[in-house]
Amino acid sequence: MFLLYSLIWLTATEMNTMNPLTAEEEYVIVHKGTERPFSGKYNNHKEKGSYHCRRCDAPLYHSSAKFDGGCGWPSFDDEISGAVSRLPDADGHRTEILCARCGGHLGHVFLGEGFTDKNTRHCVNSLSLQFHAEKEKAAYERAVFAGGCFWGVEYYFQKAKGVVSTKVGYTGGHSVNPNYEAVCSGQTGHAEALEVIFDPDQTDYESLAKLFFETHDPTQYNRQGPDVGSQYRSAVFYLNEEQKKTAEKLMGTLKKKGFNVFTELTPATEFWPAEEFHQRYYERRKGMPYCHVYTPRF
């Protein structure tokens, strides 16, 4: 079911912007083929970084989860949370693994072999993967958005291309270290917000800001769907003048298109992470937002 949700998340435009595949890659990723053992470029690969889907570039595995399974294909004992879907294989015996974002075939998963403490082996085709070397954290950039319930905002951003990590929290208020109950009271002035860490070599702030404006309704004032209150306001918390100008440009474009935009544009202040219960809420519960829907506007 989670795979179904993931495929619904991809729009027709996004499917058309998937990375082009060679004939060999298409054989494996689309037609569920298997590359020859010991032939893949990542079989003995040991560099630090992350392995992404070759077709849609969604992050799938950290290098820390890679081990030598001696099988001739890259082996991992754990996936990035929510990144890999499992389905019964057509052969009736094995379990197929697929990219949860685009449904591309990765390989198979095996349990109980005892190679590592996690007792799991993701046997993955190198042709299904694209490696991204580990970077210094300073190379990443940050963005902060608020658009209603932060569960729904995070749902769309956590799988967006170039996003390294997401964290829901509270910002734009006047009290120190607020909690969920205090923010919901409307007395702290905070908005439910999302902090996005992204790789500027993979995406840019404008692309993320467009996603923000297309995954919530910026014409609603102090609410988003059934959620009402100033904590659910639409806001862009910019970290520099470049982000401010980008947001102003996009808001201007929306207004020219006839949208009565209520999105606040304000300098970023202290971001207070929310309780663990709220982090990656829909990913952990295999659900979908009830008040956030992807709607193309640009």
Q: Which residues are the active-site residues?
A: 123, 149
Using CA atoms, how far residue 259 sits from 137, 241, 273, in Å, is 37, 24, 31
State how far Cα 61 lies from the chain centre: 13
The contacts of residue 281 (CB under 8 Å, 6+ apart) are 151, 154, 155, 168, 287
Q: Pick from 283, 285, 289, 287: which is nearest to 81 by CA?
A: 283
**Cα-atom radius of gyration of the chain, to the nearest Å?**
21
Whose structure tokens read 């996009």? 250
Residue 4 sits at φ, ψ, to 5 deg, of: -60, -45
Q: Where are the alpha helices (DSSP H) in the chain?
A: 2-9, 12-16, 23-29, 150-157, 180-184, 205-214, 241-256, 281-285
DSSP 139-195: G-EEEEEEESSHHHHHHHHTTSTTEEEEEEEEES-SSSS--HHHHHTT-S--EEEEE
Identify whether the C-beta of residue 164 lies closer than 8 Å to the C-beta of residue 198: yes
